[in-house]
Structure 1
Amino acid sequence: MGKEEIPADSGSIENDRVLLERYMEKLKDLDAELLAPEDEIALEEAFRLAKRVLKPEELIDRFTAVADPFYRSAAWKILLPIYEEMLDTAERELGPEAPGTAAVLNGLAGIYRYMGKHEKAMELFLRSLGIREKAPGPGQPETGDTLSELGILYSIMDRQEEALSYYTRALEIQEKFLSPENLGAVRTLNRMAFFYKGIEKPDKSEELFSRSLGLLEELAEKEPENRKVMAYTAGTLNNLGVLLSEMGKLEEAEETYGKALKVQEKVYGKEHPQIAQTLNNLALLYFQTTRYEKAMILYTRSLEIMEKFGKTEHTGFATTLNNLAGVYVQKGRQEKALELYTQALEIRERILGPDSPDVAKTLNNLGELYRILGEHKKALPLYTRALRIYESTLGPAHPDVGTTLNNLAGLHESMGEYETAIDLYEKALDIIEKEYGPDHPYFKITRNNLLGLYEKMERSWRGR
């Protein structure tokens, strides 16, 4: 006689279903920028209940959907165990070649990619792609999505030809399925734009951002109030604004940021972390064009928004503090700048650790401020520490090492230590020339600093 099975408690299962739906309701329409600890608890509790009451196909469908904002906020500690367990369930219950298994493989591969485990990510993406390409009928949108994800991975791995091939194949499929619910083609065009920006082809990047906006305009004509379309439009405008600013097309960039802000305010209201980011970008443009009062207003407003939403322990908040401090330096308010740089440094050290290149940036800024104030003994250890961080994390020939050597040379020059300064200027010139060439502004600045020091020394000798 076989073992007697204990029947499931139908009342308990039904209670779990009710609880699950309550949690799933809490997880609807979450904003990746505004996730709170209670949202993470809701996801974990919902998954625990879903394992009891949902069939594998429904479990995967529902959780790959609600996990998206956690995915975009890089909540890997929460997502990794969930996706690993879902993969085990999918392979066991649905089979290794099932569409649901492909969906989980794709999500888990993305997590590994963000965690820097590129070979593991590639293995899982290729498994997912193999399953999806076997699906009946012409290329499906999910196949395009995996191809696009592989494009990002190969780009990160510096395998540019393969990255471009995957992006191109993805776009051919995704454009056929474009809709407000399926914006894969827009995502891939934006990714391709970043790809070309990374290989220093800004004109091609601009073309692709514009093409993406064209697709979004077509969709907006059909559904003008669709929030997803508007959010993607605002994000693409913001990205285009950054590109135009870097290309020196400052008037076009300012206009583009303005459009982004209008769309964002329509989607999110007047205050939202996304708006804070666009305000930061526009403030930087104002800073670059010496409109310091406008820059100060926007940076301050951005900080207020982030403070309101509890984003003070965030790298973006530290960056805004750092940038606003730069404005105060230009306005001659050194004490206020010192306060903000110090605050930015403390946040970056807590979040990123003491040896992050972003920490080195703030150390550099603080060193420069102390040099301006004539407090050389305070400036020297800051520059020295920044240099050590850059050399250990980015390598001794990185351009940030060159610019720090230039700053350190200027400090030694201010201290009257001319021979040390000359040695540092020459090292900086060598690095900057190899990276940028002799016509780059950074090279010219450092060369002029060195020539100016030689002239100063010559005058000094003449006066003896």
Structure 2
Amino acid sequence: MGEKAENHKAMLERYGQRLKDLDPELVTEEDEIALKEAFMHAKEVLEPGELVSWFTVKAEPFYRSGSWKMLLTLYEELLDIAEKNLGPESPGTATALNGLAGIYRYMGNYDEALRLFSRALEIREIILDQKRPETGDTLSELGTLYYLMNRHEEALSFYSRALEIQEKLLSPENPAAVRTLNRIAFLYKGIEKPEKAEELFTRALEFLDKLQDQEPDNRGVMSHKAGTLNNLGVLLSEMGKLEEAEDRYGQALKLQEKVYGPEHPQVAQTLNNLALLYFQTTRYEKAMILYTRSLEIMEKLGKTEHTGFATTLNNLAGVYVQKGRHEKALELYTRALEIRERILGPDSPDVAKTLNNLGELHRILGQHKKALPFYTRALKIYETTLGPAHPDVGTTLNNLAGLHESMGEYDTAINLYEKALDIIEKEYGPDHPYFKITRNNLIGLYEKMERSWRS
């Protein structure tokens, strides 16, 4: 090996150390630079087949962290190298196609993702044994693509084919069947079949229990189990099974702290989920403690310019509202609004949510003139981004009507309540709690007006 090649090898080893055991939740810009530099040196040192295998492993944390633009360029180059040196129908080319397709899928280019996944599947089914894990992986990825395209029957077909392969190959080193079961559960959750989703999450946990019996301290298995418990907890919470949800969150938190330590984004997310459950069950002190701990974790990790951080600020502010600590709530809502505006832009529906909350807080404080512009701006954002008949428009109209009622502007309030009722009834029907709340608000206003006329 010449001096130049030795230098490339040394640099590859140096950057390889930087990329070793990267946590997807903690990937930095410096890590992205390290991967690009390592790839440049790997091209000079590794054979094309080795390069594909090496890059697929090293790219995985970046793939999961959402570093799509950076990976897109590298995967395109990798595919070009594989096709030219290994052939267009080789297993290495299929691996590169599969990786690139996943990036296009998450960037929203579904047509290109479908073309690349289909080509990868064709190669893997013909060249490789149809029952190999790689084939199952591509089938599962296609299932997710079809789900995102709202083609649910096709998604289920591909997921079923994937599971048929993956269940037979299930091991602590290959928990792909667990991932696919979680994906199918999310599909059923998305099409409002929560009982079926619960069944699938439970089945995934049964698989994980068997794997943990084989290797009790396998970090990958524990990580998948924590994630599945968290997913099930969210589902159970939405189904109103709050005690069961609390139990699942507790199990997830215990596993995550064991795998990642007490200060990790995954821990922060589970704390958020559990805090929301405590908020829903009026255990405000517990909710406040968990939201605060979650914020402290994110701040220590430097993840304050993040939509999740803003959401936690927003939710903690809601706890302070319930406890009557309005100044603290105002501070947190304002901070959440500033972060969301910077990251998402001034016209995002998430920005409108915080505007609505600020409007409600000022209304509670009797500061009607301050509340009005927050509600008005939120309404305009919702109408523009979601359409004039969206339920969030109805909710905001209801809030705005309540404000005008508090200001004594009854005719305006009646008009807004009626608009809100029309939207909410079309979306949810007359038996939904949102409809009943708005209708009761309107009835209450009419009764108030009638009493004032009598007096």
Matching residue within 188, 196, 213 for 1:196: 188
Q: Post-superposition shift, 1:139?
A: 2.1
1:271: which partner in 2?
Answer: 263
Q: Post-superposition shift, 1:296?
A: 0.4
2:449: which partner in 1?
Answer: 457
2:129: which partner in 1?
Answer: 137
Give distance in 2, aligned partners of 1:129 and 1:419. 63
Give distance in 2, aligned partners of 1:50 and 1:411. 63
Amino acid corresponding to residue 177 of structure 2 in structure 1: A
Question: Does 2:378 align with 1:395?
Answer: no
2:313: which partner in 1?
Answer: 321
Amino acid corresponding to residue 22 of structure 2 in structure 1: L
Give distance in 1, aligned partners of 2:228 and 2:310. 24
Amino acid corresponding to residue 419 of structure 2 in structure 1: K
2:49: which partner in 1?
Answer: 57
Give distance in 1, aligned partners of 2:127 and 2:175. 21
Amino acid corresponding to residue 59 of structure 2 in structure 1: A
Counting aligned pairs with the same residue, the percent is: 78
1:379: which partner in 2?
Answer: 371
Amino acid corresponding to residue 135 of structure 2 in structure 1: T
For 2:88, what is the secondary structure of its paired residue?
coil
Q: How does 1:145-294 map to 2 (within 5 A)?
A: 145-294=137-286
1:4: which partner in 2?
Answer: none
Q: Post-superposition shift, 1:213?
A: 0.5
Give distance in 2, aligned partners of 1:253 and 1:117. 36
Q: Is the 2:124–2:130 Cα contact (8 Å) retained in structure 1?
A: no
Q: Which runs of 4+ in 1 moved over 3 A?
A: none
Per-residue Cα deviation, 1:81-118 (whole angstroms, up to 9, x for no partner): 10111111111111111111111111111111111111
Give distance in 2, aligned partners of 1:387 and 1:117. 31
2:72: which partner in 1?
Answer: 80
Q: Post-superposition shift, 1:365?
A: 0.6
Q: Which moved more, 1:320-329 or 1:368-377?
A: 368-377
For 2:127, what is the secondary structure of its paired residue?
coil
1:430: which partner in 2?
Answer: 422
Give distance in 2, aligned partners of 1:57 and 1:44. 18
2:397: which partner in 1?
Answer: 405
Amino acid corresponding to residue 117 of structure 2 in structure 1: F
Matching residue within 307, 311, 320 for 2:303: 311
Q: Post-superposition shift, 1:37?
A: 2.1
Matching residue within 21, 37, 52 for 1:45: 37
Give distance in 2, aligned partners of 1:220 and 1:135. 34
Q: Post-superposition shift, 1:135?
A: 2.6
Amino acid corresponding to residue 422 of structure 1 in structure 2: I
Give distance in 1, aligned partners of 2:128 and 2:90. 12
Amino acid corresponding to residue 442 of structure 1 in structure 2: Y
Question: Does 2:16 align with 1:24?
Answer: yes
Per-residue Cα deviation, 1:20-54 (whole angstroms, up to 9, x for no partner): 02211221211011112221111011011111111
Question: Does 2:338 align with 1:349?
Answer: no
Number of residues of Structure 1 aligned to a counterpart in Structure 2: 455
Q: Post-superposition shift, 1:375?
A: 1.4
Matching residue within 358, 361, 367 for 2:359: 367
Q: Post-superposition shift, 1:411?
A: 1.2
Q: Post-superposition shift, 1:190?
A: 0.3
Amino acid corresponding to residue 192 of structure 1 in structure 2: I
Q: Is the 2:91–2:128 Cα contact (8 Å) retained in structure 1?
A: no
Give distance in 2, aligned partners of 1:400 and 1:408. 12
1:446: which partner in 2?
Answer: 438
Per-residue Cα deviation, 1:255-293 (whole angstroms, up to 9, x for no partner): 111101111111011211110110010000000000000
Give distance in 2, aligned partners of 1:339 and 1:440. 33
Q: Post-superposition shift, 1:138?
A: 3.6
TM-score, normalising length: structure 1: 0.96
Per-residue Cα deviation, 1:109-147 (whole angstroms, up to 9, x for no partner): 111111111111111111111111113434221111111
1:414: which partner in 2?
Answer: 406
1:112: which partner in 2?
Answer: 104
Q: Post-superposition shift, 1:398?
A: 1.6
1:126: which partner in 2?
Answer: 118
TM-score, normalising length: structure 2: 0.98
